[in-house]
Amino acid sequence: MSELDATTGVVTLAEHVDGLGQSVARRLDDHGIETVADILIADEGALTDVSYVSETRAGLLRETADEIADDSDADPLVDSVEVVLEATLGEKLQITLAERDAWANAWNVIETEEPVEWVSGDGDNWHTRRLRMSESASGTAKEAREFDLVLAGDEIRVEDPPVEYVSAQPDAPGWDVESVGAVGRVSTSSLVQLQADDDKEKAKPDGDDTWRQYQHRGETA
């Protein structure tokens, strides 16, 4: 299975694993377990919550995913800068900090900005981009921890959220990032919620911040 990697879809994986089956793979996909990476990071019980996924089949899936992840011949994921530049709404990113322990779980992109390209003072071409990350797959849970993943040139940092979010996470420090890997996507239902929230943000009137009091009722006009 050397041609498989963390981004391989579960439907494709079913073609290589005896005992998985296309119908079960599609059920996993419908429940947001869409890639090998999703299997690796799935919470305990998340696999067996899917119809026809027994403890035995779940063990087979985890064993296969681990084997693929440990395969030195598997194609590596794209480099960290490319991941940050191309990450889209609802993507799951595994972030490893340079001077702190890595987070065990992937983080979800709940807000994106287009990359900005510019020339630095020494003549280098730089790209700057900010992604808002959250533990919540939909980005709607008030208790979900949020931060900005910021790319400037080849440097990536985790930064404190903008002022309007600071009350939920005061005095959060910035940290250097060692690597960022794309490891999957949120479920279809969570992605729909994120897209709806993004549409509300784009619909707010320029120069008028009163829309915020209506955002939970969807009245942004």
What is the three-class DSSP state of 181?
strand
Whether residue 94 is predicted with pLDDT greater than 70 in this model: the reply is yes
Q: What is the pLDDT of residue 218?
A: 38
Other CB atoms within 10 A of residue 42 CB: 22
Q: What is the pLDDT of residue 28?
A: 92
Q: What is the pLDDT of residue 86?
A: 83
Closest Cα partner for 155 from 179, 190, 173?
A: 179
Fold category of 10-70 in CATH = DNA polymerase; domain 1 (1.10.150)
Asked if 80 and 97 touch (Cβ cutoff 8 Å), the reply is: no
Q: What is the pLDDT of residue 130?
A: 86
The predicted-structure confidence for 165-210, as pLDDT tens digits, reads as follows 444 444 456 889 988 887 777 777 777 888 887 776 665 555 544 4
Q: Name the segment(s) of the chain with CATH classification 1.10.150.20.
A: 10-70
Closest Cα partner for 132 from 178, 169, 100?
A: 169
Q: Which token pair is 185?
A: 């996507």
CA dist., res. 16 & res. 19, Å (int):
10
Q: What angle do CA 57, 60, 64 make, to 5 degrees?
A: 145
Q: What is the pLDDT of residue 153?
A: 82
The predicted-structure confidence for 57-74, as pLDDT tens digits, reads as follows 988 898 888 888 766 444
Per-residue exposure over 173-190, b if at least 16 CB sit within 10 Å of its own CB, e if not: eebebeebbbbbbbbeeb
Q: What percent of the chain has a predicted confidence (pLDDT) above 70? A: 76
Mean pLDDT highest for which of 47-51, 64-68, 158-162? 47-51
Average pLDDT, the chain: 76
Whether residue 161 is predicted with pLDDT greater than 70 in this model: the reply is no
The predicted-structure confidence for 112-125, as pLDDT tens digits, reads as follows 888 888 787 777 77
Model's pTM, two decimal places? 0.56
